[in-house]
Chain A
Amino acid sequence: MRVELTDEQQFLQEAVAGTVAREASLTAVREWAQNSDHGQADALAARQGWTGIGLDEEHGGQGGGLVELAVVAEQLGAAAVPWDRTLAGCLAGPLLASTGTELGAELALQTAEGSHVSILCVDGGRPPAALPEAAIADGHAGVEATYVLGAAAADELILPVDDGDEIALFAVSVTASGVLVRPRVIVDRTRSLAAVSLDDAPVRTVGAVARAAFRAAAARAAVLTAADALGAAGTLLALTTAYVADRRQFSVPVGSFQAVKHAAAEMLVDVEASRSAVQYAAWAVDAQSADAIVQASIAKAYACAAAARVADKALFLHGAIGYTWEHDLQFLFKRAKSDLQLFGSPDRHLDLIAAHLPLLPVGERTPQPVG
């Protein structure tokens, strides 16, 4: 058993943290968020090669797996760096490559390079295994998908369609006729979500992937969102411990009050337990462990709910200053709250976990939640 990160994984962690500190600090994030402009963050991700992590080198990626991507996700979540286009591309890339087709390989490569980015056209508010209802006929597609992650800055939308034993993938250029991508602004302005409407839009057939491969992509989405939330929670805890050690009332640091200490200790428990959940799930998906899908939902349900709890405690322990626009806490607070919903709320993932547990008498059909 080797429970810790390897030397290479630690090196990646430090490298990403260093880059974020230099080029994507909370000061920079504030500017990007206020202008709703994620272009510089997207360019940084491509320049650093983060867009290619998780895609094997023979397809032009950087190699590594979900463990490495989760390391990156945590560091980006820790500074609320906008990276939704990169995240969405990292979910699409390995799936495109696994079609084994020329077009799939080309789109995967371009996504990894950041030159022409493909993203999965699925509803970002639900577990991604829940496919959008799409009508495909004569090389054209019709679909309505809400809150599609990274669509606003993507070049190619990858539409997954149920095809019996497999999931068929179709590519739709955002510049094609009949394609409407309408960015949606939510309170977390580090997030990039868009409503996608395809009305008789021309599609290219990319190929097909096994259901298991698509479920693995959904698991990757869950784990990376959990890792992002873990990063945000870690920073919220660090900001809070620094603040309560410094802030004085009644002539003593407020951090000496037991009420404050107990809340801070609960935050630590949430952060460390989330780290356990995220690391284990990332490993389980990479190792193709039999329960990888369940572990991914565990990570998503637990770490995102925990980050939301941590965010609330962080805000409360900062008092009024934390509630202001000027304080950086808002970016991490909102990120934690939007990670909670991204790719399915904790309740939806608890339903997915429950579906794997033998809670009904033998012979009774387990109700299968969508996703």
Chain B
Amino acid sequence: MDFRDTAADAEFRTQARTVLERAVANLPGAEPATIDDRLPYFRQFQREINAAGYAGLSWPRAYGGREASLTEQAIYLEEYDRAGGPDRLNTLGEGLAGPTIIGFGTDGQKQRFLAPILSGEEIWCQLFSEPNAGSDLAALETRAEPDGDGWRITGQKVWTSRAQIAAYGILLARTGAARHKGITYFLLPMDRPGVTIRPLRHMLGEAEFNEVFLDDVHIGDDLRVGEVDDGWKVAMATLSYERVALATGRVNIRRLIEELITMIGRTERDGQPLGEDPALRRKVADLYARAQIQRVNGLRALASLEKGTPGPETSIGKLFSAPLVEDLADLACSITGFDAQLYEDDTLDPWLRLAYQARGTSIAGGTTFIQRNIVSERVLGLPR
């Protein structure tokens, strides 16, 4: 057992750090607030990363990727966070759509779509969830009807992040009656007639995701991925590509705990340093411990995935990390009290935003409760 980087991984880490630090230094000022303004900011960063050979880390070299191991991918994400890289606006393109097209797409699709993902030119979104198909994705009702040499698609998708800046979406639509065996996988141009994007404001009032209405949208058969009625298999593959992100957690928890500790070190209450409060010290120590454990959970999960025999440690990532982020943000908010709840001049306290986002994370991609069902059935073998 050795938790240190191997010589090769250490070399990879050093190189990635250099590239990332340079790309961050070249960015024009602070990251803009709105998603529209963040897009050119992100594209500049992505172009530089791509030129240095760090885009499409997991992709085969033949398609412009780096064929990085899972460990290298995790190291890259750690270094990305450490360098303070910008909001990764095309995770769905680079992490999900790209690998799916590589695995299941036609030669034409590979030629058309892969390069603009790597360069950041085309942003992707995911058109899976529907109002009546959340945790139960196979209940989706959006229909694709054959129409000459193509398809006509009608239905409604929801919780679609970044639809407003996306060029394409990966789409699941019903082509047959069978629950799983009646779903087909498509690539949908977001600028086609009949596609309506309506911002969906979350409980803080911000439009973080969208509803997407599809009204008789026509696309060619060349935008179908995999066989007709065989889209469930492709979708499951798409979701499996999320495994590194899921195993290692998507929030930079170690940076958060450091910021929390710094904030406490600078705060006084009733004229006394807040950091002297014994109860608070224990709470922070508990969060610090869990943050350390969270990282090791991720490393163990990656090792297990890399061996090809995922063990129970790969299933607990979200169940462990989601409450940790909530507790971290809540403790920070409890220290600053109403100051954290101020919502003046369209400005929100970052800890408060995190506290709300953490609730969203606990719901997204299968709520914590559903995750517990899945873990107890698939890992512990409890009866359905």
A residues 251-294 with Cβ under 8 Å of B?
A: 252-253, 255-256, 258, 260-262, 264-266, 268-269, 272-273, 275-277, 279-280, 282-284, 287
* Stretch binding the partner chain, chosen from A111-119, A152-160, A295-303: A295-303
Please give me the residue from chain A that is nearest to B297 by CB atom: A276
Please give me the residue from chain B that is nearest to A357 by CB atom: B261
A177 to B168, CA, bound (A): 86
Number of interface residues of A (CB under 8 A): 54
Q: A302 touching B290 by the CB < 8 A rule?
A: yes
Q: A350 touching B380 by the CB < 8 A rule?
A: no
Please give me the residue from chain A that is nearest to B4 by CB atom: A1
A297 to B377, CA, bound (A): 33
B27 at the binding interface (Cβ < 8 Å): no
B382 at the binding interface (Cβ < 8 Å): yes
A residues 332-370 with Cβ under 8 Å of B?
A: 347, 350-351, 353-354, 357-362, 364, 367
Residues of chain B lying within 8 A (CB to CB) of residue A9:
1
A295 to B91, CA, bound (A): 33
Q: A1 touching B299 by the CB < 8 A rule?
A: yes
Residues of chain A lying within 8 A (CB to CB) of residue B261:
357-359
Residues of chain B lying within 8 A (CB to CB) of residue A137:
none
B52 at the binding interface (Cβ < 8 Å): no
Q: How far is the CB of B323 from chain A (nearest CB, A)?
A: 9
Q: Out of A265, A282, A287, A357, name the residue touching B380 (CB < 8 Å).
A: A265
A298 to B282, CA, bound (A): 12
Residues of chain B lying within 8 A (CB to CB) of residue A3:
1, 3, 299-300, 302-303
B276 at the binding interface (Cβ < 8 Å): yes
Q: Out of B276, B299, B376, name the residue touching A261 (CB < 8 Å).
A: B376
Q: How far is the CB of A8 from chain B (nearest CB, A)?
A: 11
B residues 261-303 with Cβ under 8 Å of A?
A: 261-262, 264-266, 273-276, 278, 281-282, 284-286, 288-290, 292-293, 296-297, 299-300, 302-303
Q: A: which residues have CB within 8 A of B?
A: 1-6, 9, 67, 237, 241, 244-245, 252-253, 255-256, 258, 260-262, 264-266, 268-269, 272-273, 275-277, 279-280, 282-284, 287, 295, 297-298, 301-302, 347, 350-351, 353-354, 357-362, 364, 367
| 8 A–B pairs (Cβ distance < 8 Å), ordered by A | A245-B383, A260-B382, A269-B316, A276-B297, A280-B3, A282-B1, A298-B288, A359-B284
Q: B: which residues have CB within 8 A of A?
A: 1-6, 9, 71, 261-262, 264-266, 273-276, 278, 281-282, 284-286, 288-290, 292-293, 296-297, 299-300, 302-304, 307, 312-313, 315-316, 319-320, 369, 371-373, 375-377, 379-384
